[in-house]
Amino acid sequence: MSRRLPARRRFKRSSWAISIAAALAVIGFIGAAQWNSSLARQVFVTSAQRILVSEAEQAQRLQESLRAQIEEAEARVRSFQERDEGSRSAQERLNQQVAAARLAAGLTTVSGPGVVVEIADSLNPPEDGQLSNYIVLVDDVRDLVTALWASGAEAISIAGGGPGAPAERLVATTSIYGVGASILVNTAFLSPPFRIEAIGPDGLYDRFLGHPSFLTRVAKRIDAYGLQFAHEERAEVVVPGFIGNTRLRYGAPLSEEE
Amino acid sequence: MAGRMAQLSLFAVALIIGLLLVGQLRSQAPTIELSSLSAQELSTLIETLSTSNVELGDGLADLREQIREYESEEARGLSTLDLIREDLERFSAFAGLAPVTGQGITLQLEGSFEPANVNDLIYELRNAGAEAIAVDDVRITAGSVAVRGTSAIEIDGVEIDRFFEIRAIGSPAGLQSALERPGGILRQLEQAAGATVRIIAETDIAVPATERDLTPQAAQPVE
């Protein structure tokens, strides 16, 4: 003789079944997506490209290591400077001058009020078949940076690849250079979304949004092709110091007396 | 017993979902998509990275030499003030606070330039390894950009004429070949601005210090 379960228990069991079924459906969906994305990557990378990708990755790893070593060596040099046993007053004066020069050169991490700008490729399907209209170009990033500097920014960094990605400080030797759909900033290879952070005096945000270098080209592309764009004024922005080579190979400082 | 089994099943299902989700998110995360670049773009990237790695390696070797000098001076009980002065000169030159002299190129340009053309040219020179740049007598610092002024292009508030000169310190051959590469910046300037450009390789040129005050007011150093 079969025993009928009480209504509440039957309902409980069926809700379990629904949960498990839903979970299995999610697994199936994610599994399929995972499989598809793996397949896509394998199909489009040729063997020659794979070798080049591997070389580029190797060069990037070497660069990260060199930059980390430079950062460490610079810190050691600074520690020597701070504990110098020579003339105290002369040393203090020199160290203040060095700190001021480092600050002016962009080698020091700084914080202050500023602006955060993010730009990423459009999510709209290319209507005119021109894919390049729908992706962030190096000119877009350059125009944003030009508008920020011209609006009074005192320190700017660019990061690529989403939240938490390391940022590159813009200094006097910084190149912003396009390689395909990605850009090189200093010597780091960044991919969208690009996040630009700038510190500057009051009014930076409004001046930036009204600056011709922003309005002339990039603002029009944002409107026309739906490039993803977000901007915000912040009470505090932190811009890291530049890590890299500061030595001149082909030139030498010319002292004022010369 | 049945309840325990259900819990275990649910745990297993949740675990699998978690693992798959992490895998999927990682594979779709906006990482550096090297594989999306063409072979030519990859070659350009490798060349650029290799050049900068050589420069970084040289810089690191210099820093290590400097550390050895500090250690040696300290061991002999001598002051290291001279070494600190060298650092001050280096940072000042890098920032644009001090004039710089050395090898490089002079560009004599004439054309109907837009501010973006001038900025593009400066970025091209920097990418080719320019260590210090001046447009006419304006030293290019981090924040020096060409913008449209009231009657002409301006950099740091100084007007740039239709005919102007750029001096860049760096490898003369490296700078020249980067500018002259097929389809490169000079070709683009010819088309966009009707520019005529003369490049002169120099063994000894000087770029002045900036006249801007580079001391930030809003940005404060983080201890």
Judged by DSSP in three states, B152 sits in coil
Are B53 and B74 in a shared domain?
yes
Contact between A70 and B120 using a beta-carbon 8 Å cutoff: no
- Quick check: B106 contacting A, CB < 8 Å? no
Are B148 and B66 in a shared domain?
no
- Quick check: A36 contacting B, CB < 8 Å? no
**What is the count of structural domains for chain B?**
2
Are A235 and A115 in a shared domain?
yes
Give the CATH number of the domain where residue B118 resides. Answer: 3.30.70.1880
The 3 state secondary structure assigned to chain A is: CCCCCCHHHHHHHHHHHHHHHHHHHHHHHHHHHHHHHHHHHHHHCCHHHHHHHHHHHHHHHHHHHHHHHHHHHHHHHHHHHHCCCCCHHHHHHHHHHHHHHHHHHCCCCEEEEEEEEEEECCCCCCCCCCHHHHCCCHHHHHHHHHHHHHCCCCEEEEEECCCCCCEEECCCCCCEEEECCEEEECCEEECCCEEEEEECCCCHHHHHHCCHHHHHHHHHHHHHHCCEEEEEEEEEEEECCCCCCCCCCCEEECCCCC
Q: What range defines the domain where residue A79 resides?
A: 47-104
Q: What range defines the domain where residue B63 resides?
A: 39-94
Query: Which chain A residue lies closest to B50 (C-alpha atoms)?
Result: A59
Are B156 and B77 in a shared domain?
no
Contacts of A189 in chain B (CB under 8 A): 32, 34, 45, 49
Is B12 inside a domain boundary? no
- Quick check: B173 contacting A, CB < 8 Å? no
**What is the count of structural domains for chain A?**
2
Contacts of B80 in chain A (CB under 8 A): 80-81, 84, 86
Q: Could you state, in chain order, the average pLDDT of each consecutive group of 10 residues for chain B (223 residues)?
A: 70 72 51 70 82 86 87 79 89 96 97 93 94 97 94 94 95 95 90 92 96 95 87
pLDDT at B35: 74
Average pLDDT of the segment spanning A241-247: 91
**Residue A31 pLDDT greater than 70, yes or no:** no
Are A66 and A94 in a shared domain?
yes
Cα angle for residues B33, A187, B103 (degrees, 5° grid): 145
Is B76 inside a domain boundary? yes
Dump pLDDT digits (tens) for B54-65.
888 888 888 888
- Quick check: A22 contacting B, CB < 8 Å? no
Are A131 and A235 in a shared domain?
yes
Are A169 and A208 in a shared domain?
yes
Are A124 and A205 in a shared domain?
yes
Is B11 inside a domain boundary? no
Are A179 and A98 in a shared domain?
no
List the beta bridge partners of residue B23.
Answer: none
Is A39 inside a domain boundary? no
Query: Which chain B residue lies closest to A106 (C-alpha atoms)?
Result: B95
Is B31 inside a domain boundary? no
Distance CA B109, CA B167 (A): 11
Question: Out of A88-92, A205-209, B144-148, which region has the weakest mean confidence (pLDDT)?
Answer: A88-92
Give the CATH number of the domain where residue A200 resides. Answer: 3.30.70.1880
* A194, A160 Cβ separation under 8 angstroms: yes
Is A245 inside a domain boundary? no
Are B134 and B74 in a shared domain?
no
Is A133 inside a domain boundary? yes
Contacts of B124 in chain A (CB under 8 A): 175
Cα angle for residues A16, A19, A23 (degrees, 5° grid): 140
Are B81 and B149 in a shared domain?
no
Distance CA B18, CA A99 (A): 49
Dump pLDDT digits (tens) for B119-148.
999 999 999 999 999 999 999 999 999 999
* Residues 6 or more apart in contact with residue B126 via CB below 8 angstroms: A173, A174, A175, B133
Judged by DSSP in three states, B78 sits in coil
Distance CA A224, CA A229 (A): 12
Distance CA B122, CA A93 (A): 35
Are B86 and B147 in a shared domain?
no
pLDDT at B94: 96
Cα angle for residues A211, A168, A138 (degrees, 5° grid): 50
Are B147 and B103 in a shared domain?
yes
Are A72 and A134 in a shared domain?
no
Judged by DSSP in three states, B124 sits in helix
* Residues 6 or more apart in contact with residue A202 via CB below 8 angstroms: A113
Judged by DSSP in three states, B90 sits in helix
Of the two residues A37 and A100, the one the predictor is more confident about is A100
Are A90 and A147 in a shared domain?
no
Question: Which one of A30, A50, A119 would you mutate to disrupt binding with B, by most B Cβ within 10 Å of its Cβ?
Answer: A30
Is B173 inside a domain boundary? yes
Is B45 inside a domain boundary? yes
Is A155 inside a domain boundary? yes
Are A99 and A113 in a shared domain?
no
Are A208 and A116 in a shared domain?
yes
Of the two residues A47 and A197, the one the predictor is more confident about is A197
The question of ipTM being above 0.85 is answered as no
Using alpha carbons, select from A64, A66, A242, A187 the residue that is nearest to residue B56: A66
> Which residue, B31, B61, B94, sits at the end of a domain?
B94
Of the two residues B14 and A182, the one the predictor is more confident about is A182
Are A165 and A81 in a shared domain?
no
Are B57 and B120 in a shared domain?
no
**Residue A165 pLDDT greater than 70, yes or no:** yes
* A positions 137-196 inside 8 Å of B (CB): 139, 142-143, 145-146, 149-150, 153-156, 160-162, 170-177, 179-182, 184, 187, 189-193
Quick count: other Cβ atoms within 10 Å of Cβ B68? 10
**Residue A1 pLDDT greater than 60, yes or no:** no
Q: Are strands B220-221 and B138-139 parallel, antiparallel or unpaired?
A: unpaired
Is A98 inside a domain boundary? yes
Query: Which chain B residue lies closest to A50 (C-alpha atoms)?
Result: B35
**Residue A6 pLDDT greater than 60, yes or no:** no
Contact between A84 and B214 using a beta-carbon 8 Å cutoff: no
* A177, A219 Cβ separation under 8 angstroms: no
Contact between B57 and A66 using a beta-carbon 8 Å cutoff: yes
Are B56 and B105 in a shared domain?
no
Are B77 and B130 in a shared domain?
no
Contacts of B55 in chain A (CB under 8 A): 245, 249
Contact between B147 and A212 using a beta-carbon 8 Å cutoff: yes
> Which residue, B94, B113, B129, sits at the end of a domain?
B94
Quick count: other Cβ atoms within 10 Å of Cβ B2? 7
Using alpha carbons, select from A257, A38, A51, A228 the residue that is nearest to residue A140: A228
Is A16 inside a domain boundary? no
pLDDT at A45: 57
Are A63 and A117 in a shared domain?
no
Cα angle for residues B152, B157, B158 (degrees, 5° grid): 65
Is A57 inside a domain boundary? yes
Is A96 inside a domain boundary? yes
CA–CA distances in Å: residue B25 to residues A53, A166, B22, B78: 22, 20, 5, 57
Are B85 and B129 in a shared domain?
no
Bond before B208 cis per omega within 30 degrees: no
- Quick check: A249 contacting B, CB < 8 Å? yes
Average pLDDT of the segment spanning A196-225: 95
Amino acid at position A55, single letter? E
Are B103 and B142 in a shared domain?
yes
